[in-house]
Structure 1
Amino acid sequence: MFAFDEFGTLGIRPTQGSCWAKQGQAQPSAGDLPSHPGRHLLPRLLRRRRRPAVGRQLAPQGPASSLAALKSIRAARPDGAPIYIILDNLSAHTGAVIRRWAKKNKVELCFTSTYASWANPIEAHFGPLRQFTLANSHHRSHPVQTQALDRYLRWRNTNARHRDILAAQRKERAHIHSEKGIRWGGSSASSNSLIRQGLQI
C-alpha cells in the first residue's frame, strides 16, 4: 500500500517559521535572492506496519510528472505483485493514460472523495516536512533545497518514531481534521472553542 500526493510549489525565497537552526545567522529579505521558477515536490509514502518510509520526486506538476512518480512507486515492488496507491482525484491523476498504465501494471488507484484529500495518510507527513526543511529557511537554489529535503527524508526514515516527528504529525492531523470539519459543513476546532466559551459566559 502506497500513498501519493503533490506538496505545493517549492519556490526559492525566504520562508518564515520556527525550526531547528543555528543561532546568530541573519535572515535575508526576499529582495536579496534571485528569482527561480518553482517546482513541485511529489512525496510518496510506503505504508509499513511500524515505520512508513517517505520518498520524493521533484518535478513540475502535471500528468507526465504524476505518471513518472507512479512508475517509481511501481518499481518499489519489482516482483510484480499488485499494489494499491491512495491519491486524490486531481485531474493530473485521473487521465486515461494513467488509468491504462495502472491497469496494465497491476496498480489499483484508490482515489479519495472530492474535497476529502485529508483521507490520504500522506497528508499528515507534510507538516513535519514543512517544519524541518522549509520553515525559517533561505535556500539559495533548488539543488541546495533538494539536499535539505534529502537530508531530512534520510533522517526521518531512520527515526520514524522520533518524538519531534510524532509531535509534528499530531499537529498536522489536528489541522487536517479541523479543515475536514469546515469543508463538510462543520466548524473549526478554534470556532468550537469560542462557542463553548460563549456558552459558559
Structure 2
Amino acid sequence: MRLRRAMVVLASAGGNTVPVIARLVQADEDSVRGVIHRFNEMGMPSLDPQWAGGRPRQISPDDEQFIVTTANTRPTALGRPFTRWSIRKLADHLAANPTRTVLVGRERLRQLLRKHEITFQRTKTWKESNDPQREAKLSRIEHVTTHFPQRVFAFDEFGPLTIRPQAGSGWQPKNCLAPGLMETSKPGRRFSYAGTEEVPR
C-alpha cells in the first residue's frame, strides 16, 4: 500500500491526470484523489496512515457470492433504470438493496470481481428481445438447464427469426458471454435460425 501511494504522489507530481494515475495503479479515481489530498495536507506521513483500531469489516463467502450473482445479472432485471453496471452503480445498489445489504468499497468490490474473474467486456453483437416476459422466461430456462441439464428439449414457437447485431457491454465471467447473448463472426450480417434445426440459414 505504501508503494502504491508513493506511485500516486510521484505520478501526480509529474503532471499526470487522476484518470491516468488510476489506470496506472489500478485504483478507483476517488481513492487516487484521496491520496493526493492527504499528501498535500500531511506530507510524507500520509504514506503510512495510522489506521483506527477495531476489527476490519469482513465480507462473508455468502456476501461474495451475492455480489458475483448481482454483477452477472442485468440491472434492468433488478428494477434498475440502466442497462449495465459500473463499479459505482453496483456498490450503490448493494448498499441500498432492501433484500440483502452488502456494504463494500469500490476498490474492494473491484478486487472481488477480479478474484472471481468477472471482467468488464464489450461485445460487437448484442441480441436483445422485446418480449415483456423475457426475464421470467429466462429465469425458468436457466433453472431447468442448471438443475436438469440432461433432460432439456428446446422448441421455438416462432421462426425463422432475424437477429440484428447491436453493440453492448457489461460485467461477465472471463471469456464467457451472459445468458441471452450470442456473437456472430461477421458484424452486420443477418442470420435466420430455425428452432427445429438450430443452424443458421
Computing the radius of gyration over CA atoms, which structure comes out larger, 1 or 2?
Answer: 2
Higher relative contact order (CA 8 A, sep 6+): 1
Q: Which has the higher strand share?
A: 1
**TM > 0.5 fold call:** no
TM-score range, shorter chain: under 0.3
TM-score (norm 2): 0.25
Alignment TM-score, normalising by the size of structure 1:
0.25
